[in-house]
Chains A and B, each alone.
Chain A
Amino acid sequence: MNITVKLFATFRNGRFKIEQQEWPEGTDCRHIAAGLGLTEEEIGIVLINGRHVPLEQLLGHGDTLSLFPLVGGG
Chain B
Amino acid sequence: MDKILRVNMTDLTTRTEPVPAAWAGLGGRALTSTIVAAEVPATCHALGENNKLVFAPGLLTGTPAANSGRLSAGAKSPLTGTIKESNAGGTAAQMLARLGVKALIIEGLPKADKWYSLHVSKDGVTVQEESELIGKGNFAVIEALEARLGKKTGILTIGPAGELKMTAANISVKDPDSKIRSHGRGGLGAVMGSKKIKFITINDEGAPGVKIADPEKFKVAARTFAKALLDHPVSGEGLPTYGTNVLVNILNEAGGLPTKNFTLGQFEGHDKISGETLHDTIVARGGKPKHGCHAGCIIQCSQVYHDKDGKYVTSGFEYETIWGLGADCCIDNLDDIALADNIMDDIGVDSIETAVMFGVAMEAGILSFGDSKEMLRLLKDEIGTGTPLGRILGGGAASVGKAYGVTRVPVVKNQAIPAYDPRSVKGIGITYATSTMGADHTSGYTIATNILNVGGFVDPLKKDGQVELSRNLQIATAAVDSTGMCIFVAFPALDIPECLPALIDMINARFGISLTGDDVTDLGKQVLKTERQFNIEAGFTKEHDRLPEFFKTEPVAPHNAVWDFSDEEIDEFWNF
The interface of chain A, by Cβ under 8 A from chain B, is 6, 8-10, 12, 17, 44-45, 47, 49-52, 66, 68-74
Q: Which of A47, A51, A72 has the most CB of B within 10 A?
A: A72
Closest to B254 in A: A50
* A-B contacts, 12 listed (Cβ < 8 Å): A50-B253, A51-B559, A70-B453, A70-B454, A71-B238, A71-B250, A71-B452, A72-B448, A73-B239, A73-B301, A74-B247, A74-B319
Contact (Cβ within 8 A) B447 A44: no
A72-B491 in contact given A9-B238, A9-B242, A44-B452 (Cβ < 8 Å): yes
Contact (Cβ within 8 A) B233 A66: no
CA distance A72 to B235 in the complex (A): 8
Check if B460 is an interface residue, CB within 8 A of chain A.
yes
Set A12, A50, A73, A74: member contacting B276, Cβ < 8 A? A12
Contact (Cβ within 8 A) B246 A9: yes
Contact (Cβ within 8 A) A9 B241: yes
Distance in angstroms from B72 CB to nearest chain A CB is: 17
What residues on A are CB-neighbors of B255 within 8 Å? 50
CA distance A68 to B234 in the complex (A): 12
Contact (Cβ within 8 A) A51 B241: no
Distance in angstroms from B247 CB to nearest chain A CB is: 4
Set A8, A10, A49, A72: member contacting B249, Cβ < 8 A? A8
What residues on A are CB-neighbors of B241 within 8 Å? 9-10
Contact (Cβ within 8 A) B250 A45: yes
Contact (Cβ within 8 A) B441 A47: no
Check if B245 is an interface residue, CB within 8 A of chain A.
yes
Interface of A (DSSP majority class): mixed
What residues on B are CB-neighbors of A69 within 8 Å? 233, 237-238
What residues on A are CB-neighbors of B448 within 8 Å? 72
Contact (Cβ within 8 A) B233 A73: no
Q: Which of A50, A68, A69 has the most CB of B within 10 A?
A: A50
Distance in angstroms from A12 CB to nearest chain B CB is: 7
Contact (Cβ within 8 A) A72 B234: yes
CA distance A51 to B265 in the complex (A): 13
Interface residues of B in 225-274 (CB under 8 A from A): 233-234, 237-239, 241-247, 249-250, 253-255, 271
What residues on A are CB-neighbors of B461 within 8 Å? 51
CA distance A74 to B442 in the complex (A): 7
What residues on B are CB-neighbors of A74 within 8 Å? 244, 247, 319, 441-442, 445, 447, 487-488
Closest 7 CB pairs of A and B: A73-B244, A71-B238, A70-B233, A72-B234, A50-B255, A73-B247, A72-B452
A73-B487 in contact given A6-B253, A47-B254 (Cβ < 8 Å): no
Known A50-B255, A73-B246; 4 more pairs at CB < 8 Å: A70-B233, A70-B454, A74-B319, A74-B442
Contact (Cβ within 8 A) B233 A52: no
Distance in angstroms from A54 CB to nearest chain B CB is: 9
Closest to B447 in A: A74
What residues on A are CB-neighbors of B454 within 8 Å? 70, 72
Set B242, B442, B445: member contacting A71, Cβ < 8 A? B242
Contact (Cβ within 8 A) B453 A73: no
Set A49, A52, A72: member contacting B246, Cβ < 8 A? A72
CA distance A45 to B256 in the complex (A): 15
Check if B275 is an interface residue, CB within 8 A of chain A.
yes
CA distance A16 to B89 in the complex (A): 36
Contact (Cβ within 8 A) B457 A73: no
Contact (Cβ within 8 A) A70 B452: yes
Distance in angstroms from B65 CB to nearest chain A CB is: 20
CA distance A12 to B280 in the complex (A): 12
